[in-house]
């Protein structure tokens, strides 16, 4: 019984660990359609049936409302399948931080606190932070 | 009066908590049955049958008409703040179906003489219910998404049914 609860708990923590994981990205730019001059874009990949996407969206909108240098955009991953595949979007919500120059600087998988996104925008590390190049 | 268009996502999680506790008791009661002849009066067997029936209720009536959902709406929901968003009941309803399939498979195999199937099915269902209750990870909803993205919704998504609604856009519970 204890082992069963332990296995379920470990499985839960493994899943939780993947949520809100911030990956610093470099060497990848995005098309002009998805960038805004002078602003950092929070580009959220979402799907129609994704409840966590709806949970995350108001947090990102709030960040964009509070910061004049940030814009929020949501993209349906199914409707933009080619883009999602080219960017390696495997699950929703996945949020990309796109610099004014169109460079993808970070990728956040799943739902995370607003602070995690603000840190990613400002290039500050969060607790769930790793650096890769794609 | 507006028509309800979504459910409070905390409702299914509340139901999953009750189910997880019941299934844990079920696992405890059925472990011993695995090494004994089939006994359809054993408390563990009866409990898993009841849990399976509750899952079936959720499938046929939808999570909003499930006893746990009704209890949540009447007694728990009024004590809580408004949720950040509402969600379509389709995923949680599909999850009830997954729970039903898992538990009824265990029951049928047990009746057929595969006695170990009952605690195994109870344990598998417990893990899924526990993940939802403790971590908010709805395994059945994820399985539903795999189908829904391919346009297979099992009739759970009626035309015009919003998948998710942000509070503020349309407020209905």
Structural domain count of chain A: 1
Containing structural domain, residue A118: 20-131
Asked if A48's CB is within 8 angstroms of B127's CB, the reply is no
Q: What are phi and psi of B85, to 5 degrees?
A: -155, 165
Task: Give CA–CA dist B144/B161, Å, rounded.
Answer: 16
> Could you tell me which chain B residue has the CA closest to the CA of A6?
B127
Q: What percent of chain A has pLDDT over 90?
A: 35
pLDDT of residue B129: 95
Q: Is residue A86 part of a domain?
A: yes
Average pLDDT (B83-104) is 88
Q: Is residue A2 part of a domain?
A: no
C-alpha of B82 from chain center:
22
Average pLDDT (A33-53) is 85
Q: How confident is the model at residue A132 (pLDDT cuts 50, 70, 90)?
A: very low
The whole-angstrom distance between B165's CA and the closest CA on chain A is 7
Asked if A4's CB is within 8 angstroms of B24's CB, the reply is yes
Q: Is residue A98 part of a domain?
A: yes
The whole-angstrom distance between B87's CA and the closest CA on chain A is 6
Distance (Å) of CA A42 to CA A37, A60, B64: 13, 7, 35
Asked if A49's CB is within 8 angstroms of B88's CB, the reply is yes
A94-98 sheet: strands from edge to edge: A70-76, A40-46, A94-98, A104-109, A21-24, A129-131
- Neighboring chain B residues of A5 at a CB cutoff of 8 Å: 24, 130
- Neighboring chain B residues of A49 at a CB cutoff of 8 Å: 88, 90-91, 144-145, 148-149, 163
Asked if A8's CB is within 8 angstroms of B127's CB, the reply is yes
Per-domain residue ranges of chain B: 10-166
| CATH number of the domain bearing residue A47 | 3.40.30.10
Q: Is residue A62 part of a domain?
A: yes
> Could you tell me which chain B residue has the CA closest to the CA of A18?
B137
Q: What percent of chain B has pLDDT over 70?
A: 86
Q: Residue ranges of the alpha helices (H) in chain B?
A: 10-31, 43-61, 67-71, 90-111, 117-130, 139-148
Burial of B79 (0-12, 13-18, 19+ CB in 10 A): exposed
Mean pLDDT in chain B?
Answer: 84
Question: Would you say A116 and A125 are in contact if contact means Cβ atoms under 8 Å apart?
Answer: no
Give ipTM to 2 decimals: 0.75
pLDDT of A87 > 50? The answer is yes
Angle at CA B130, nearest 5°, toward B101 and B148? Answer: 50
């Amino acid at each position: 019984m204890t082992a069963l609860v332990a296995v379920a708990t470990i499985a839960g923590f493994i899943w939780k660990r993947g949520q809100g994981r911030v990956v610093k990205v470099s060497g990848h730019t995005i098309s002009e359609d998805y960038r805004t001059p002078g602003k950092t874009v929070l580009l959220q990949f979402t799907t129609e049936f994704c409840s966590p996407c709806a949970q995350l969206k108001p947090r990102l909108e709030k960040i964009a409302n509070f910061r004049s240098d940030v814009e929020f955009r949501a993209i349906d991953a199914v409707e933009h399948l080619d883009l999602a595949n080219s960017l390696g979007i495997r699950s929703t919500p996945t949020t990309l931080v796109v610099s004014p120059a169109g460079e993808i600087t970070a990728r956040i998988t799943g739902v995370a606190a607003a602070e995690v996104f603000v840190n990613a925008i400002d290039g500050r590390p969060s607790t769930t932070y790793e650096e890769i190049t794609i | 009066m507006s028509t309800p268009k979504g459910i409070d996502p905390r409702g299914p999680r509340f139901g999953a908590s009750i189910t997880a506790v019941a299934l844990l008791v079920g696992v405890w009661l059925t472990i011993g049955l695995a090494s004994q002849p089939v006994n359809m009066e054993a408390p563990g067997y009866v409990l898993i049958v009841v849990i399976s029936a509750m899952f079936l209720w959720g499938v046929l009536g939808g999570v909003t008409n499930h006893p746990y959902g009704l209890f949540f709406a009447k007694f728990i929901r009024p004590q809580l703040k408004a949720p950040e968003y509402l969600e379509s009941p389709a995923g949680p309803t599909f999850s009830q179906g997954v729970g039903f399939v898992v538990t009824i498979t265990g029951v049928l195999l047990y009746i057929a003489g595969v006695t170990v199937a009952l605690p195994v099915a109870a344990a598998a269902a417990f893990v899924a219910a526990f993940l939802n209750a403790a971590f908010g990870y709805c395994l059945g909803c994820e399985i539903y998404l795999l189908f829904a993205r391919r346009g297979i919704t099992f009739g759970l998504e009626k035309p015009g049914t919003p998948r998710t609604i942000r509070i503020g856009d349309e407020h209905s519970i």
